[in-house]
Structure 1
Amino acid sequence: MRSMTCRRLRIALLVLALPLVAGACAAPVGAVRVDAQIVQRELTGNVLNTGELSRSTRNVLFFHGLSERFDEDSEAALDTMRKNIVAGLTGRDVFPAAAELSFFHAEASGKRSYYLAAAVYAWIFLFPDGGASLPDPLDPRLRMAADLYNRGIALGLASPDKTVMEMRAGTYELPWGELDVAFDKDRLRWASRDLIDFVPIAELKVSGLQVRIRRPGIGAALAAGMVPITEDQQVRDIIAPRIKVSATALMRIDDARKQLEGSRMRATLDLYPESETETVVIAGRTVPLEQEPTAALAWGLQESPVWERELKGFFGSVFQVGAKNQLVSLTPPRFGQIPVVFVHGTASSAGRWAEMINVLQADPAIRDHYDFWAFSYNSGSPIAYSAMILRDALTNAVRLLDPEGKDPGLKQMVVVGHSQGGLLTKMTAVHTGSRLYDAAFKKPIDQLNVSEETRDLVRKALFVEPLPFVKRVIFISTPHRGSFLAARDFVRSLLQRLVSTPARLVKGTAELLANREAFAAQGGNRLPTAVDNMSPRNPFVKTLSGIPIDSGVDAHSIIAVKGDGPVETGDDGVVKYESAHIEGVKSELVVRWEHSVQSQPEAIMEVRRILLQNVGAK
């Protein structure tokens, strides 16, 4: 009996010991092979891109014995860390960690004072006081610290509803005291505008553009709106009223490490529009500013009525809203800069140039020589009328911006036109004599029974001289000999019923129709629309195609051809190659694409090449 009891006891002890033995056999430390991307994410992840603390910051918590305390009471752990810094008990590694821990707690608690604390710690790491050594440029914490600083000031100085960053002087709470921020309100001035509504670009997801340009650096990248300083600002410039300005906010904290020892800190807030500078000097170092022009451009287009105007600008009163003829600059015009004017096509808008403008503006070699303008117009109007509006707009802009004629850049203008816009572009660079008029009328203009106002309108539209300041033109998918789509009678018939006459032409139309006997051809009871003008059989386009570009203007062609068949018999779905091709151009590039080729990389790079060649750059 006793023997059986002992046996049972031994079995029970063995059963109890098995887990201990098994545990002793398992290695407490080890490594297993996994996908390298998993390891990379573990090593490079941080609070900004994963929502979790980085490996380097967790290491610092461990070294300072604060891992558990931070989990239990984050604010107490951060207070201890700051006291250790002030007491000189820490090394440099603590600053990026303190920045990330502060940001992590700000995200969890919603306390914006910790966003500002993150910015302070990051600044100390990036720009140490006095002669302290700089961080190793290959240290990955350098970029993390810059991003924490950038986001820290954007969120720490955010409006109560957190939709915009506030650019103003004020006193802000810190976890250990207060931060006095100085700001010069004159920094809000941008040409004849005041900048407002500073949206952090880090919160903007861009769509519709293939390229997103980011210039990594220091500062909070912003997309700013603007308001006129005075009501008559358009009298003095042509800046687009709804454009969003790419700008960067920078909060300078001089002697930040020393200031950290007290309960009150001082900083200075600065604002830098992208058009003014790309770098700043901090503690004797030239540092790039964080800039994201693509997002600012996309944000401006998102809030603009430009897309709504595409069809409205073609059909006019069918939609109860006409498109406004408008020439605008995307930045304040700069002395000596050459304007590049983009002219959109039929049922289109200036927004269709976004991809090209996005890429070209990001290129310093282009940006240092050129300003970008855009012309919008009612693309259903007669082409000669729209071209007249373009010429008037360009002439008035040059007169407005350079009344004394001293700006050399304004004398070297480049005009780029897509589709119908290419025909408008051509009419800035030709001497027509009476040819266009003779194609429309068989009576001399002085014998028309119309008012002098209408006579002057006809003369300005059909008797064209090249603009003296236009020196280069670029045609993209331009129907010089018309579009085969416009040749289809049912298409023209439908659109003729829908396209309305611009108000400025209503009176003149009635007067001209009363002179039907003066018409060179029977035109019915209306003036031709742009679609009529682009029919290969139309006298206007047939005559214009035979007029050469003025000898003082260099011309270039970019022609789209679909598929991989012979170029000479190809088309882009709207315009045949034989219509887009003209003799006498300085260059011609064929791109295998459809009609809207202006957003394709080959077309953009060709425009870039032409612009660089224009200023003698390589």
Structure 2
Amino acid sequence: MALVRRVATATVSTAKKPTFNAALMTLVVTIMMLTACSTVSVNKQASSKTIAAQRGNIVTGNNLSSDTASTLLSAGLDEQACLQQFDLCLDQLTDSLLNEHYRSALAIFSELHYAKAKQLAKSPDCRNALTRPPLDPYYANAALSKSQTDTQRQNTNTCLTNYQARLFDAIKSSYTYLFYDQLDHDFEGAETEEAKARHPNRIPTDLDIQTQDIYNAASNDVITQLYQSTNNANTMLGDTENIKIDYLPTLATLDSSNQAAIANNTPLRGKPTDQIRVMKMQVDDYGLNIYLPNENNYLQNAHKQASALADLVSTYELRLSGLNSISKRPGLGISLVASLDDRYTTTIRQLLVSSLSGKLTKAASNGSMDDSETSARIYPTGHLLMTGLIIPAGDSVLDVLGSEELNIHLYNPYRSESVSILGDDYPLAANFSAGYGLWLAENQLDGVGYLNLLTRRQEASLPKLFMLEPYDPDKRVIIMIHGLASSPATWVNLTNDIFNDDKLRDNYQVWQIFYPTNLPILENRYQIQKLLTATYQQTDPSGQHRASKNSVIISHSMGAVIARMMLSDDNLAKNLNALDNKDLLPNTNKRQINDSLKQAFGNQELGMRFKLQTLPQVDTAVFLSAPFRGTDYADRWFTRAIRRVIYLPLSVIKTVTDNLATIATQGDLANNPLGALYLQNGASQLSDKSSFIQLTKNITINKRITFHSIIANNDSDITQGLAQMQPNGAKIDLSQALPEQDKNAISTSIQSDTDERTTLANEPLVAAVTVNEDISQALTERLSDGIVPYTSAHLDGAASETVISGGHSIQANPQTILTLRRILHKQLQQQTSP
């Protein structure tokens, strides 16, 4: 700039007759040059960009944070040069830090260590494993010579050693920054008591958030690669030559290949939330101690009782879509999902293969026990949630920074909500939607539900029970039973909202029933109740757990019809006489069929289907869109057409007809009112004219059961009328805005009718109404969800009855879910059964 000024001055002084214009031009050029020397400018930008720039770091993008970048510039260090000569850069950076407050330096060093780790991870030496033998050795990718192979192996091991060291250093530096808040008595010139007094309470800063990002990201890399290192020869944690594993014999377990793996075989004395060491790994100079919860068979397969994790996924690497919300608990640690290799999975392809082969294939059942065994159809969750946390050894800042021992803790987030570090309690992070989302994603439950209804198979696919979290003896059970042609996927939003409600999540666990809706409803009721009874017996033989009391059944449509039968003590066999078809009785053969059917249904094998008995563990039920008295929708031409392609499993037909083969043909039985109870598919039995509905429509619910009805109505005008009759129970619908054309129509209404126009403009839509017994009969006869009329869904004696504005499938309606949550909260407030 000085040179620019000198040149400008010389130009002016040597001119003989400078004109005014020339002088002015020279002045303008000089000012422009002076302005160009300034490197600072001020421009406006969106506040979101400013915040993103302030809070971004090497984890959220490819650039260092503004604090770290500024510190490097102040020290005269280039970012790329620093990463190239990393150790020298750290030395020079340390010399440049003249401030006596060392805490912020720890955050800077943690980010630099992680940046170097990311750079190493992308390098060829770390990224490339030994190349596979070439298909053609004469091409350029021919196999390396022994010396080249040895060199490559050495380079890879060196790179991986440096990579893991950088991760460990990033963890130690960020941990020290986060948890040693005042850096007590470790450094010369550490913060004095006067300095502490000036900042008694420190709110989180951008630097705190960025450093926690570093701590979490580095911990995530170490934990996920730790799992890989126990299963693969070459991993990002290093070659097996670099790793030595010491399994504690009393706690380690063997997988199917007799290889020890991370698991807790037998709990020790103490609490389930206690952490016990199950393994020690030596990775170069670092010792890694792995701790698990003190729980029985934690991380072990349910059936094999052997540890075999098929996968370990961090929620950092998952994007869950299709859920109404993601249920999270903020806090420390990495949310992980461990998938067991014996978990049940089913897909449409597996079902089709099993149908073509005429029986359930091993692939379709994933190698489980015989499907006819009730215990084989109880599926503990195959996706276990964990929260991983790495705590370096050491009692002081210098101890931690110099430590070569890291303690890796894996917590059960359902049981452990917090962790104590250096005498202070911190919340543990959790993602409660992750395991549920993975289960739904890998099981095509909706498609399988439809195929179970329509596919003809040799053997019946019997009901299955899925636990959505590890069994907890201290939580009440919610049992969910879906409707016709459906699956547990129908409950996705309700289940996720329960996970998202701290009070409900802490007090309830969810069991979902998946059953084939083509079976006769009496058979499904019997099999589902048998399955539930076996599950309670398996989890709590003595019946003393909280989980064996105050259970809740939530059921939809056909599932609600089944649920009501599981809450009754009626003997349906006593009402068989009511199904006699008087027009057929004069026919001796038809009368003989009736008599033989009654006798057969009285036998022990079939009689259990007719003798109802209340589940003792359940005290609350919620019925959604329940066709208790049937529906004429099942008899309309298009549903009749669908019913014709719904098949009963051949084994069910054979069981009944073999017992009755001496009296009639299958066709005669199917046309008989009594025979239809077992030779009609589930969809046909929902007709209001069916023998099943005639037999069950008036069954009574056990008096100790509190039940609630949620009924849909697809006529908004009727819902508005209900709201006017019972305004205290109305819930306004704010789920969507009124269309603009409606507003214009209102504004252009007849000018003379001002009062009516105001009423139209201000009248809100109604989403739900809690009703009482005062509804007029004329109004109830018009209520319907389009499939099930109110008169079929209504039950006298309900603790509450709520009419939801919508169609038959209201289980995903936000107002339905909100009503269900209110019912569950109310149940929790009531006294627990003794």
TM-based fold match above 0.5: yes
Q: What are the Cα deviations for residues 516-538 of structure 1, in whole angstroms up to 9, with x where unaligned? A: 58986386898111111111221
- In the alignment, the residues of structure 2 paired with residue 525 and residue 186 of structure 1 have an alpha-carbon distance, to the nearest angstrom, of 51
Q: Which amino acid aligns with 1:368?
A: D
Equivalent in the alignment of 1:24: 34
What residue in structure 2 maps to residue 156 of structure 1? 222
Between 501-510 and 526-535, the greater mean CA deviation after superposition: 501-510
Q: CA deviation at 1:211?
A: 0.6
Q: How many Å separate the matches in 1 of 2:459 and 2:385?
A: 30
Among 633, 650, 661, which residue is 1:485 paired with? Answer: 633
Conserved? CA contact 1:187–1:270, under 8 Å: no
1:195-250: CA deviation from partner (whole Å, max 9, x where unpaired):
72220111100111011122121111101112579x99x99898635631221111
Q: Which residue of 2 aligns with 1:45?
A: 56
**Closer/same/farther in 2, CA of residues 204 and 440 from structure 1, 3 Å limit:** farther
User: Which residue matches 1:297?
Assistant: 436
1:257 to 397, 402, 418: 397
Structure 2 match to 1:224:
338
Aligned position for 1:385: 523
Task: Name the structure 2 match of 1:190.
Answer: 298
8 Å CA contact retained: 1:219, 1:250 = yes
- Residue 113 (structure 2) aligns with: 102
2:428 is the counterpart of 1:215? no
Whole-Å Cα distance in 1 between the matches of residues 652 and 674 of structure 2?
23
Give the structure 2 partner of residue 180 of structure 1: 287
* Alpha-carbon distance in structure 2 between the residues aligned to 1:20 and 1:37: 38
Q: Contact (CA 8 Å) 1:102, 1:117: kept in 2 or not?
A: yes
1:608 paired with 2:821, answer: yes
CA contact (8 A) 1:315 1:500 kept: no
Looking at structure 2, the residues matched to 436 and 7 of structure 1 have their Cα atoms a distance apart, in angstroms, of: 128
Counterpart residue number, 1:124: 176
**Alignment partners' CA distance in 1, 2:89 and 2:281:** 25
C-alpha displacement at 1:586, in angstroms? 0.6
Please state how far the C-alpha of 1:116 moved relative to its aligned partner: 3.2
Residue-by-residue CA offset, 1:262-321 (whole Å, 9 max, x unaligned): 4x5111111112222121111111111121111221012212353442123222436x89
- Which of 266, 270, 282 pairs up with 1:171? 282
Are residue 93 (structure 1) and residue 104 (structure 2) matched?
yes
Give the superposition deviation at 1:72: 6.4
Q: Is the counterpart of residue 528 in structure 1 residue 680 in structure 2? A: yes
CA distance in 1, matches of 2:680, 2:592: 20
Question: What is the match of residue 468 of structure 1?
Answer: 616
Task: Determine helix, strand or coil for the equivalent of 1:615.
Answer: helix
Contact (CA 8 Å) 1:316, 1:322: kept in 2 or not?
no
What secondary structure, in the 3-state scheme, does the structure 2 residue paired with 1:599 have?
coil
For 1:572, which of 779, 785, 791 is the aligned residue?
785
Q: Distance in 1 between matches of 2:459 and 2:53?
A: 55
Letter in 1 for 2:174: A
Asked whether the equivalents of residues 476 and 559 of structure 1 are also in contact (C-alpha less than 8 Å), the reply is yes
Q: Which SS does the other structure have where 2:337 is aligned?
A: strand
Counterpart in the other structure of 1:541: 693
Greater length-normalized contact order (CA 8 Å, ≥ 6 residues apart): 1
Give the letter aligned to residue 175 of structure 2.
W
What TM-score, normalized by structure 1, do the two folds share? 0.85
Q: Does 1:268 align with 2:407?
A: yes
Deviations 1:393-424 (CA, angstroms, capped at 9, x unpaired): 12222222332232354132211111111111
Partner of 2:352: none
Residue 310 of structure 1 is aligned with which of 433, 449, 471?
A: 449
Where in structure 1 are there 5+ consecutive unaligned residues? Answer: none
SS at match of 1:575: coil
Task: Provide the rounded CA distance (Å) in 2 between the counterparts of 1:607 and 1:413.
Answer: 14
Find out whether 1:353 has 2:460 as its counterpart.
no
Once the two structures are TM-superposed, the CA of residue 379 in structure 1 deviates from its matched residue by 0.9
The Cα of 1:41 is off from its aligned counterpart by 1.9
Alpha-carbon RMSD across the aligned residues, in angstroms, is: 4.0
User: Deviation per CA, 1:532-590, whole angstroms, max 9, x where unpaired?
Assistant: 11112213224422223221111111222235221443433433333322221111122
**1:238/1:496 CA distance change after superposition, 3 Å:** closer
Deviations 1:334-392 (A, max 9, x none): 33432111111111111222221222133232233222111111111111110111111
Structure-2 change in CA distance of 1:439 and 1:414 (3 Å): farther
- CA distance 1:333–1:445, shift in 2 (3 Å): farther
2:323 partner letter = L
Query: What is the CA–CA distance in structure 2 between the aligned matches of 1:517 and 1:144, rounded to whole Å?
Result: 73
The residue aligned with 2:203 is 137
Partner Cα separation in structure 1 for residue 459 and residue 205 of structure 2: 57
Q: Decide whether the 8 Å contact of 1:340 with 1:416 is kept in 2.
A: yes
2:500 to 356, 362, 384: 362
Q: Partner amino acid for 2:50?
A: V
Separation in 1, partners of 2:699, 2:602: 25
Output the CA distance in 2 between the equivalents of 1:321 and 1:15: 98
Distance change (3 Å), C-alpha of 1:464 and 1:75: same
DSSP 3-state at the match of 1:597: coil
**2:218 maps to amino acid:** G
Q: CA deviation at 1:44?
A: 2.2
AA in 2 matched with 1:215: R
Flag the structure with larger Rg.
2
Of 196, 204, 211, the match for 2:318: 204
Alignment correspondent of 1:337: 475
Q: Mark the runs of 5 or more structure 2 residues left unpaired by the alignment.
A: 1-13, 122-162, 185-195, 229-233, 238-260, 263-278, 302-306, 344-367, 582-590, 720-779
CA distance in 1, matches of 2:92, 2:495: 48
Please tell me the residue identity of whatever aligns with 1:25.
T
Instruction: Check conservation: 1:555, 1:585, Cα contact below 8 A.
Output: yes
Q: Percent sequence identity over matched residues?
A: 22
What is the number of equivalent residue pairs in this alignment?
606
| Partner-residue secondary structure (3-state), 1:482 | coil
- AA paired with 2:298? W
The residue identity in structure 2 corresponding to 1:397 is: T
Residues 408, 524 of structure 1: alpha-carbon distance in 2 compared, 3 angstrom cutoff: closer
Alpha-carbon distance, 1:127 to partner: 1.3
Which amino acid in the other structure matches residue 122 of structure 1? S
Distance 1:396 1:524, change over 3 A: closer
How far 1:447 moved relative to its partner?
Answer: 5.0
Aligned partners of 2:533 and 2:459: how far apart in 1? 27
Equivalent AA in structure 1 for residue 282 of structure 2: T
- Between the aligned partners of 2:669 and 2:514, the Cα distance in structure 1 is 34
Partner of 2:84: 73
CA contact (8 A) 1:118 1:149 kept: yes
